[in-house]
Every structure is written in structure tokens, then in C-alpha cells.
């Protein structure tokens, strides 16, 4: 079977659109989980988004270190690199989104309120790696 570049672009576009849809679903699911299940007030519900912020902050230094120490030396003298070599962080991002969804879904309402917030941090790790790699 022969794959064309357009097949890869289509698949990555579908993956990115799924991650965007999940991002907007967080804005709908956080009030349901933390106000209705855990009894947070409307003001305290904003604290639930701190997991996403912390995950993004923790992702930035390792990602830039990867770009500087691993990816940048692979460029040739003309500044070109094989396009596939830019996709390695996307693998990490894909697994992080899956981990986040399972962690958040199975812990919400069953455990202490901090557990789903920690699980939501994996979403920003995944989204950051996917958006920048693709």
C-alpha cells in the first residue's frame, strides 16, 4: 500500500482537531465535575484549571531542551531536516492525551479532588507537544 504526503497531513489534521475538541470539552466538563460532584463554589472552580497550567509550565523546559540538544544538530548545512524528525514529540503528546483522559475519567467523583486535577496536567503536556510538533 502506498501512502502519500496528503494522507499523513489528513491524519495529523484529524488528530489536531480531536485535541482542539478535547480542549473545549475541558471547559464544559470542569464545572460539571468540580461544582456538581465535588461541591466547589463557582470561584473555586477556577482552581481546577491549575493542573493544565502546571502541566504546560513543566513541559516547556524539556521541550526546548529537546529542540536544542537533539533536533537542532540534525539540521544540515542548508538548514533542512527530514520532516519526520520533527514528529518525535508528537508521540509523547499522543500518549499523554490518552493518559489524561483515562486518569481524569476514572478518578473524577471517586477520589480526592486533587487526583483529577493532576490527571488534567497530562492534557497540556500532550497538547503542547502535539501542537508544536505537527
* Number of compact structural domains in the chain: 1
Query: What is the spatial distance between Cα 12 and Cα 16, in angstroms, rounded to a whole number?
Result: 6
Task: Please write the tens of the pLDDT for every residue from 21-66.
Answer: 998 998 899 999 999 999 999 889 988 999 999 999 999 999 999 9
Q: What is the pLDDT of residue 26?
A: 84
Confidence class for position 114, pLDDT limits 50, 70, 90 = very high
Task: Return the exposure string of 99-121: e unless at least 16 CB atoms fall within 10 Å of the residue's CB, then b.
Answer: ebbebbeebbeeeebebbbbbbb
- Collapsing DSSP to helix, strand or coil, 4 comes out as coil
Query: What is the spatial distance between Cα 59 and Cα 61, in angstroms, rounded to a whole number?
Result: 6
Query: What is the spatial distance between Cα 62 and Cα 83, in angstroms, rounded to a whole number?
Result: 21
Q: What is the pLDDT of residue 2?
A: 58
Q: What is the pLDDT of residue 86?
A: 87
Range of the structural domain that residue 84 is part of:
5-133
Q: Which residues does 115 contact at the CB level (< 8 Å), separation at least 6?
A: 103, 107
The total of other beta-carbon atoms located within 10 Å of residue 51's CB is: 24
Q: What is the pLDDT of residue 115?
A: 96
What sign has the CA pseudo-torsion 124, 21, 43, 40?
negative
Amino acid at each position: 500500500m502506498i501512502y502519500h504526503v496528503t494522507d499523513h497531513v489528513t491524519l495529523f489534521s484529524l488528530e489536531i482537531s480531536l485535541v482542539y475538541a478535547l480542549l473545549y470539552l475541558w471547559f464544559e466538563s470542569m464545572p460539571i465535575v468540580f461544582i456538581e460532584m465535588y461541591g466547589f463554589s463557582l470561584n473555586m472552580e477556577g482552581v481546577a484549571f491549575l493542573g493544565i497550567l502546571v502541566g504546560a509550565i513543566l513541559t516547556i523546559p524539556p521541550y526546548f531542551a529537546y529542540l536544542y540538544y537533539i533536533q537542532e544538530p540534525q539540521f544540515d548545512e542548508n538548514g533542512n531536516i527530514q520532516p519526520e524528525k520533527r514528529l518525535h514529540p508528537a508521540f509523547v503528546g499522543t500518549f499523554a492525551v490518552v493518559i489524561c483522559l483515562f486518569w481524569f475519567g476514572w478518578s473524577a467523583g471517586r477520589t480526592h479532588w486533587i487526583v483529577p486535577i493532576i490527571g488534567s496536567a497530562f492534557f497540556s503536556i500532550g497538547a503542547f507537544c502535539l501542537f508544536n510538533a505537527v
